[in-house]
Amino acid sequence: MAILEVQDLRARYAKGGREILKGISFSVDAERYAALQEQAVRALSSYAQTEARQLARDRREAMQREFRFLPDQTLPRVKSAGWPDVQRFGARLLERGKLELLIHGHLAPEGAVAAARAVAASVGARPAQAGDLVRRRNLVMSPGEHVVDAGLIQGVNTAWSTEYRLGTDSPRVRAAALVLNAFVSPPFYNEMRTRQQLGYIVGSGPTTSLRERGLVFVIQSSTHNADDVRQRAETVIAGLPAALAALGNAEWATLKAGVRSQLEEKPTSIAERADRLFNEAYLYGGEWGRAQASLAALEALTQAEASALLAEAIDPAKGQRRSVLLDRAAQPPATPVAASFTDREAWKRGRQYR
């Protein structure tokens, strides 16, 4: 996929689009390739020292998405790959595919069409069937299912991260997710970080993956093990739906006003606007005006509906949840956390994705 910000493509393509984007072959000598390979190996080898919260996020996404791997999983292949391997891979990388273009800028419609065709001709790739394309797909979960990844990591911190699925990406759920995040963030932070002082990193926020919306909580701690953090956090989270339902009218109106101003924000650059248009065109299948639809849903959203959505999401019998608990290898917990799998890739091969 590509986004082209175009000021005036007529001049650029006057000499023929094929010449502009024609592939250029090049070679790398053995010494240079060895240096590049060593740089990549060093970067991947240091991944284990990444901040605990980031490791937890990566592992949570690796559970959710069909084709999602941890960076260090590629380390063995990076170590063994030679320059001929890289050349062969590069030669076939763009042989077939689907070109998705957004021509955005000072160009008439007929000029945009001509520019798009010139780009397509320049690439020279053969069109692939829709079924041959690798598309992002997310884990299919059952009501009440809680998938857990747990393990030991290097470093001085532990991490706990959990994501509750709110629902499909409808305007109502989009608007509710923003309202819920605005509500839950302050009390969760104040209790976990300020009062209990579990860790320097405490937070929550909305998540988006294609047509799914969720709410994530994360704590990184240097003083408590991951399961202790989990138990304390779940106690606070369990009380959030009732606290939301008990808000006064003025407080509820303030929450909605904050989300309304967020949805009404205009792109501040051509790149931001192009990115929004591209996502509406290709990621969401021509669903134009998503912000306007979310605003309309926000106006109709009631306090009771938002509270009920949150209550259902965190209900162990109904909700769908993914959690990661990471403890320090130098100080493992007395009772290991029970994980849903020991081999993530083998477990994923037995799951369904859509």
Query: b/e per residue, 63-100, with b = 16+ CB within 10 A?
Result: bbbeebebebeebeeeeeeebeeeeeeeeeeeeebeee
- For the chain, list residues with pLDDT below 70: 1-26
User: C-alpha angle 91/93/98, rounded to 5°?
Assistant: 130
* pLDDT at res. 106: 82
Query: b/e per residue, 209-243, with b = 16+ CB within 10 A?
Result: beebbbbbbbbbbeebbbbbbbebbeebbeebbee
pLDDT, tens only, 230-244: 999 999 999 999 999
pTM: 0.86
pLDDT, tens only, 47-67: 999 999 999 999 999 999 999
* pLDDT at res. 6: 37
* pLDDT at res. 24: 54
* pLDDT at res. 17: 40
Single-letter amino acid code for the residue at 87: Q
CB-neighbour burial class of residue 326 (10 A; exposed 0-12, middle 13-18, buried 19+): buried
Helix (H, G, I), strand (E, B) or coil at 289: coil
pLDDT, tens only, 64-96: 999 999 999 999 999 999 999 998 888 888 788
241 touches 318 (CB < 8 A):
no
Look-up of token digits 């931001």? 272
> So where are the chain's domains?
4-16+30-49+68-132, 146-349
Superfamily name and number for 146-349: Metalloenzyme, LuxS/M16 peptidase-like (3.30.830.10)
* pLDDT at res. 9: 38
